[in-house]
């Protein structure tokens, strides 16, 4: 129930905060308890007396002590307590509006008994209550500002630590570090994103450059800085391409020169080897000539003696050849007689063949007669069969004799021809013996002249042998030099072949050079 209406000294409308509050104070506690009972403004549940007392004191100070400096601290404390319990300014505003409505209703009801609240009183009430609400709002804003400041400070500290990690890693050559964490502040998040983008660009450029340089270090002349870059990285990309092209061009020229040197060294080695072989062969020939010349001097003396002995031997051979001619004539005569005997044996063979034929006919007639006689002629038939077989064998033997006699006759004829040819050869041999004797006379005279010339030839061959020895030594040195040059060129070619070169036209042509500014940037 409401308290009894106050008695005013005079019937005037309330026109000051104090007068307005005096009217509100009658129902303030009841209204506070009603609001706290229906809301969660109280720290404890249900609302404690301390909550009621704090709320009454807060409203009282809003009307009676609006300029008290302590109120701002109290508002901050209350806002901090509400936030700690999960409350917001909207929660407070709803409760404040509820309390304001109840107070305004009581105020209007109590002033309606007299002259009414009046516009000034209503303005005072609303201004005070609104100022109180705005003061709490400012407290909430101050706390939110402080929280944001602390959060930004924490984000700045987080960004500062991340920046330190990234920069220290970059100083140590490690570009893998990035600004991490959820930066809710847009400005700080933009700074972190820009730095990460910068590190990504630096990392991508350096990684691509290092991959290209690693490929170049491993001998791959098709290395390139892959990617699309601008600015200094573009200059670095061009410079790497120019460097690789220049190295490729230089190696191509070195390879061509090495091939020419290899060809020249091979030709030199072949020529030196050929010269060495020819010189060695000539040295061997000279040595053989030196050895043979001495032997030939002795041979010339022996030839003179042998020529005399050969003349005596030729005389003996001529005599023997004459005797052989006489023997050949006798053999020819004997061959003629053998040929005549072969003709006689041929006649005998024909006779035997005739007898065998007649015997064969006789055996056939006897067999016919035996067959006519029947059993009485069986024995005679057997005899007839044997006679016929004997006649067949005799005929075959006669044929064999005739064949042998024919072969013998042919051999005799061939032997006679041979003996005749032998006689002719012996005649020519006797004539040639005389010619050979004349030749031996010339050989003896020639040996005398050659013996005088061999002394001069021996001195010349000694001088040639010394010159050839010097040529052999020089050719040996040429072969060794050619081998050394070939080995060195082979090592150079092997080094060049260890590079992986681009098979395209760039590997064999002139490299694409960029402007000097690019090279200085690299």
Consecutive 10-residue runs of the chain (522 residues): their mean pLDDT?
52 85 92 83 60 91 87 88 89 92 91 81 91 91 89 81 81 77 70 76 79 80 79 85 83 81 79 78 77 72 72 76 76 76 79 84 84 80 83 84 82 80 79 77 73 71 76 77 81 76 53 43 32
CA 465 remoteness from chain centre: 57
Torsion of CA 443, 448, 449, 454, to 10 degrees: 110
- State the helix-helix crossing angle for 49-64 and 89-111, rounded to 10 degrees: 70
The whole-angstrom separation of Cα 109 and Cα 125 is 14
The whole-angstrom separation of Cα 485 and Cα 482 is 5
The whole-angstrom separation of Cα 488 and Cα 481 is 11
- Assigned superfamily of 300-503: Methyl-accepting chemotaxis protein (1.10.287.950)
Q: Which of 433, 437, 446 is nearest to 304 (CA)?
A: 446
DSSP symbol at 506? G
The answer to whether residues 428 and 348 touch, using CB atoms and an 8 Å cutoff, is no
Integer angstrom CA distances of residue 330 from 326, 336, 420, 431: 7, 10, 11, 22
Altogether, the residues listed in the chain come to a count of 522
User: For 3, phi and psi rounded to 5 degrees?
Assistant: -70, 165
Residue 269 pLDDT:
75
- CATH architecture of the domain formed by 17-155: Orthogonal Bundle (1.10)
The whole-angstrom separation of Cα 136 and Cα 298 is 149
The whole-angstrom separation of Cα 334 and Cα 342 is 12
DSSP symbol at 46? S
Residue 520 pLDDT:
37
pTM of the model: 0.36
The answer to whether residues 6 and 26 touch, using CB atoms and an 8 Å cutoff, is yes
| Domain assignments of the chain as residue spans, ordered by start | 17-155, 300-503
The whole-angstrom separation of Cα 58 and Cα 73 is 12
The whole-angstrom separation of Cα 396 and Cα 390 is 10
Residue 108 CB neighbour total at 10 angstroms: 15
The answer to whether residues 232 and 521 touch, using CB atoms and an 8 Å cutoff, is yes
The whole-angstrom separation of Cα 202 and Cα 30 is 71
Residue 506 pLDDT:
44
Residue 349 pLDDT:
77
Strand partners, 146: none
First to last CA, the chain: 94
The whole-angstrom separation of Cα 170 and Cα 65 is 61
The answer to whether residues 66 and 131 touch, using CB atoms and an 8 Å cutoff, is yes
- State the helix-helix crossing angle for 378-497 and 232-373, rounded to 10 degrees: 170
Residue 314 pLDDT:
72
- Residues contacting residue 416 through CB under 8 Å, at least 6 positions apart: 332, 335, 336, 339
- Residues contacting residue 458 through CB under 8 Å, at least 6 positions apart: 290, 293, 294
Query: For the chain, percent helix, then strand, then coil, each to nearest 5?
Result: 85, 0, 15
∠ at Cα 460 (456, 465), nearest 5°? 150
Residue 134 pLDDT:
93
The whole-angstrom separation of Cα 21 and Cα 188 is 50
Taking the alpha carbons of 15, 17, 21, 24 in that order, is the dihedral positive or negative? positive
């Amino acid at each position: 129930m409401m308290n009894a209406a106050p008695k005013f000294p005079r019937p005037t409308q309330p026109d000051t905060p104090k007068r307005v509050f005096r009217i509100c104070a009658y129902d303030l506690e009841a209204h506070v308890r009603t609001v706290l009972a229906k809301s969660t403004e109280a720290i404890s549940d249900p609302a404690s007396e301390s909550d009621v007392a704090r709320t009454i004191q807060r409203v009282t100070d809003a009307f009676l002590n609006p300029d008290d400096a302590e109120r701002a601290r109290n508002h901050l404390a209350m806002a901090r307590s509400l936030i700690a319990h999960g409350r917001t300014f909207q929660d407070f505003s709803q409760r404040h509006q509820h309390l304001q409505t109840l107070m305004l209703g009581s105020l209007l009801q109590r002033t309606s008994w007299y002259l009414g609240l009046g516009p000034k009183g209503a303005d005072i009430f609303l201004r005070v209550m609104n100022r109180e609400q705005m003061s709490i709002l400012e407290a909430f804003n101050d706390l939110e500002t402080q929280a944001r400041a602390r959060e930004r400070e924490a984000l700045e500290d987080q960004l500062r630590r991340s920046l330190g990690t990234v920069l220290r890693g970059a100083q140590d050559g490690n570009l893998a570090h990035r600004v991490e964490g959820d930066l809710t502040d847009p400005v700080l998040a933009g700074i972190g994103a820009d730095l990460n983008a910068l590190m990504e660009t630096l990392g991508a450029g350096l990684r691509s450059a290092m991959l290209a340089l690693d490929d170049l270090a491993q001998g791959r002349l098709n290395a390139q800085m892959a990617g699309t870059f601008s600015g200094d990285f573009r200059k670095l990309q061009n410079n790497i391409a120019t460097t690789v092209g220049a190295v490729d061009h230089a190696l191509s020229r070195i390879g061509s020169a090495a091939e020419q040197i290899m060809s020249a060294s091979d030709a030199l080695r072949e020529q030196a080897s050929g010269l060495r072989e020819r010189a060695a062969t000539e040295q061997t020939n000279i040595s053989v000539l030196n050895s043979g010349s001495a032997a030939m001097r002795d041979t010339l003396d022996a030839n003179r003696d042998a020529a005399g002995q050969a003349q005596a031997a030729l005389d003996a051979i001529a005599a023997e050849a004459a005797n052989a001619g006489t023997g050949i004539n006798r053999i020819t005569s004997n061959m003629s007689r053998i040929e005549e005997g072969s003709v006689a044996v041929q006649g005998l063979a024909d006779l035997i063949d005739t007898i065998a034929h007649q015997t064969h006919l006789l055996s056939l007639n006897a067999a016919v007669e035996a067959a006519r006689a029947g059993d009485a002629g069986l024995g005679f038939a057997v005899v007839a069969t044997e006679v016929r077989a004997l006649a067949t064998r005799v005929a075959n033997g006669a044929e064999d004799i005739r064949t042998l006699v024919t072969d013998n006759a042919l051999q005799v004829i061939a032997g006679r021809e041979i003996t005749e040819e032998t006689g002719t050869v012996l005649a020519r041999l006797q004539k040639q013996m005389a010619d050979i004797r004349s030749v031996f006379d010339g050989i003896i005279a020639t040996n005398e002249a050659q013996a005088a010339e061999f002394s001069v030839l021996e001195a010349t061959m000694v001088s040639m042998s010394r010159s050839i020895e010097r040529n052999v030594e020089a050719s040996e040195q040429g072969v060794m030099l050619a081998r050394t040059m070939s080995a060195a060129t082979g090592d150079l070619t092997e080094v060049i072949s260890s590079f992986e070169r681009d098979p395209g036209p760039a590997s064999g042509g002139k490299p694409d050079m960029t402007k000097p500014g690019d090279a200085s940037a690299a």
